[in-house]
């Protein structure tokens, strides 16, 4: 007969463990002296929350989730319209910044990562994108067997709870009963329709659902918002699962993975001044983000041997790829003044924000109930590109992620950037102290193609904003400004103004065991170490199209099946739409 002490986090068999001894263990656990479970998950973010729910689902195994951050209950997190606040608050964000970027004039760019229940899904922009089928087929070509689009589509369908909203969609390609609610905004500001119509006028595709059969084109954008609230991985997966007696959430800092004879047996953690070990009977699973997952492996002696030896860390497994292959999406804000006072700028004052906040608090409605990203586009940059490599987010206000609005007043903007940069960076240790931030160097814009790609994005956006659909609204160009035209002038603007889209990934790459730069195999097992997996966005061989919350949750869903030894869901071999003119035209 099995029993689980929820507070202690100890699972035991009465026929194997005398009750008196179990009580002693429970008391030790409550004082921080001893905790154990079948699975210990480091991180409660997008993948970690999904795994916690799936691994504890049938009650067979005990699971402990380790999370350093605190509660996600605050209105700045739960109100979608307040998204610019939590990602700039030390209470919720690790506050990482890149090293001076050599190709951006030494600028240090922000790299927010969630330090809160739900991880980065609790501070992100709530945009939902699966990624293109071609992204996952490329993963297979990179050595991630079993991760083609046909393999991962069933997991997207399993996790989605997609809601028809009168804004279009492709219901045959969408999941309807999963834990992750996906909706579309009201699009009641006419600029959203103008953006899509301008794309049509410029000759591009319009798609009814970029997460359905056809990603390419202009479309309404989808968000992980439900009934006016942020629908994070914590709300979707973790909080419901925590009602189970075999799942425990433990607040602590994971310092390193404890290894014995080449096997992960637990996690060394600190809580205040106390350091203890939480033991894993079956496996340790790292789901701490593309920044903190490689940091933990390196602190544990798993990584490039020379780097570890230099820091005085005993080498447990020489894996040169740990912390390498760092990727991200960069974007520019192309801003245009608006001639009509219809943008969200009318709320960008004390009384406007108060009104929005009160409406949301009382009714979970109004502008605060949406992330405001309600129209978008996925386009191809030139003939010969088989599937989209440019993403647009459209926003009916001229504002930055840090909440600073354009001084010109009413405006609108497109966030635009190429999706498949060849630039690669790294995450390395600053020291062997777990409390020190890692060194993050994205090496942005290090590939010459990045510059021509971004110049194309600027010029293309100007053409779209120049279509007749925007005639009633279009004022002067705020940024870059009409005088910025030559390649050199555009490059200067890019160097000074390009920003991260906050999509870091790739630092524990999934690949073939014989690949020296691979960190995990196709079942997310760390190569060279037993009973240890990494399951989060750090395992992406190459960054997928769009925002990474959806793919990260999918990885958690699929990773859980691998951990449990389940047969993967049957493949879905439907062929997605590819533009028949892709070889001869960009539209």
Binding-site members for FAD are 116, 124-127
In 425-583, which ranges are continuous DSSP H helix? 448-465, 487-497, 549-563
Q: What letters, b where the CB count within 10 A reaches 16 and e where it falls short, cover 335-345? A: bbbbeeebbbb
Tell me if residue 503 is catalytic: yes
Residues 264 and 277: beta-carbon distance below 8 Å: no
CA torsion sign, 515 to 516 to 520 to 525?
Answer: positive
Rounded to 5°, the CA angle 251-254-257 comes to 140
Contact 587, 377 (CB under 8 A): no
Q: Among 542, 538, 536, 516, which Cα is nearest to 527's? A: 516
Handedness of CA 139, 141, 147, 151 (dihedral sign): positive
Instruction: Answer whether 258's CB lies under 8 Å from 266's CB.
Output: yes
Q: Of these residues, 132, 329, 410, 503, which one is catalytic?
A: 503
CA-based end-to-end distance of the chain? 63
Cβ contacts of residue 68 below 8 Å, gap of 6+?
115, 251, 252, 253, 254
Quote the Cα angle for 556-562-567, to 5°. 120
Task: With residue 267 as reference, give the H or E element that holds it.
Answer: strand 263-271
Joined tokens for residue 458? 């600027």
State the DSSP string of 367-430.
Answer: GGGS-S--EEEEE-SSTT--S--EEEEEESS-B-TTSPBPTT-SEEEEEEEES-----BEEE-S
The values of phi and psi at residue 369, to 5°, are: -90, 5
Tell which residue, 563, 496, 557, has the closest CA to residue 103: 496
Could you please report the per-residue DSSP string of 364-380?
A: S-SGGGS-S--EEEEE-
Give the DSSP letter of residue 516.
Answer: T
Residues that constitute the known binding site: 116, 124-127
Name the packing angle between helices 549-563 and 149-159 (round to 10°).
100
Q: CB-based contacts of 423: which residues, under 8 Å, 6+ apart?
A: 327, 442, 443, 444, 445, 446, 447, 450
Nearest-CA neighbor of 192 among 344, 32, 358?
344
**Hey, which residues are catalytic here?**
503
């Amino acid at each position: 007969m099995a029993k689980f002490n929820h507070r202690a986090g100890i699972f035991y068999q009465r026929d194997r463990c005398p009750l008196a001894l179990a009580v002693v263990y429970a008391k030790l656990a409550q004082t921080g002296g001893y905790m154990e479970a079948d699975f210990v998950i480091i991180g409660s973010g997008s993948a970690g929350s999904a795994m916690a729910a799936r691994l504890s689902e049938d009650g067979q195994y005990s699971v402990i989730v380790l999370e350093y951050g605190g509660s996600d209950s605050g209105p700045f997190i739960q109100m979608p319209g307040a998204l610019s606040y939590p990602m700039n608050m030390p209470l919720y964000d690790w506050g990482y910044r890149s090293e001076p970027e050599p190709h951006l004039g030494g600028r240090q760019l922000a790299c927010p990562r969630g330090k809160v229940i739900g991880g980065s899904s609790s501070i992100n922009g709530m945009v939902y994108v699966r990624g293109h089928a071609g992204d996952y087929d490329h993963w297979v070509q990179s050595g991630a067997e079993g991760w083609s689009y046909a393999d991962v589509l069933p997991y997207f369908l399993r996790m989605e709870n997609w809601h028809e909203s009168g804004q279009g969609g492709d219901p045959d390609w969408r999941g309807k009963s999963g834990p992750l609610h996906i909706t579309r905004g009201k699009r009641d500001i006419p600029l959203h329709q103008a953006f899509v119509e301008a794309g049509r006028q410029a000759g591009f595709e319009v798609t009814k659902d970029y997460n359905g059969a056809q990603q390419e084109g202009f479309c309404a954008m989808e968000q992980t918002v439900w009934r006016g609230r942020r629908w994070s991985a914590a709300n979707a997966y973790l909080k419901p699962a925590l009602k189970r007696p075999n799942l425990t959430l433990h607040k602590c800092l994971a310092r390193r993975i404890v290894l014995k004879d080449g096997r992960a047996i637990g996690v060394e953690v600190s809580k205040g001044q106390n350091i203890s070990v939480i033991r894993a009977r079956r496996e340790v699973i790292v789901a701490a983000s593309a920044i903190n997952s490689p940091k933990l492996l390196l602190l544990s002696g798993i990584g490039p041997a020379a780097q570890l030896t230099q820091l005085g860390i005993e080498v447990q497994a020489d894996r040169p790829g740990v912390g390498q292959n760092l990727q991200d999406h960069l974007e520019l804000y192309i801003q245009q003044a608006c001639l009509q006072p219809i943008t969200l700028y009318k709320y960008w004052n004390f009384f406007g924000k108060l009104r929005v906040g009160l409406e949301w608090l009382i009714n979970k409605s109004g502008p605060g109930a949406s992330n405001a990203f309600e129209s978008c586009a996925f386009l191809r940059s030139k003939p010969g590109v088989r599937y989209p490599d440019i993403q647009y987010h459209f926003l009916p206000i001229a504002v930055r992620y840090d909440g600073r609005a354009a001084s010109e007043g009413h405006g609108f903007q497109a966030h635009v950037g190429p999706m498949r940069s060849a630039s690669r960076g790294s995450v390395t240790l600053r020291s062997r102290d777990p409390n020190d931030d890692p060194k993050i160097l994205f090496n942005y814009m290090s590939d010459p193609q990045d510059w021509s790609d971004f110049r194309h994005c600027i010029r293309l956006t100007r053409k779209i904003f120049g279509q007749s659909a925007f005639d009633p609204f279009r004022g002067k160009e705020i940024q870059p400004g009409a005088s910025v035209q030559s390649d050199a002038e555009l490059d200067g603007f890019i160097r000074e103004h390009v920003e991260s889209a906050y999509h870091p990934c790739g630092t524990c790459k999934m690949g073939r065991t014989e690949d020296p730069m691979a960190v995990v195999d196709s079942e997310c097992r760390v190569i060279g170490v037993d009973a240890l997996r990494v399951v989060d966005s750090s395992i992406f061989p190459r960054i997928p199209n769009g925002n990474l919350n959806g793919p990260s949750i999918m990885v958690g869903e699929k990773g859980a099946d691998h951990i449990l030894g389940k047969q993967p869901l049957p493949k879905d071999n439907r062929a997605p739409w590819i533009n028949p003119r892709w070889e001869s035209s960009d539209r």
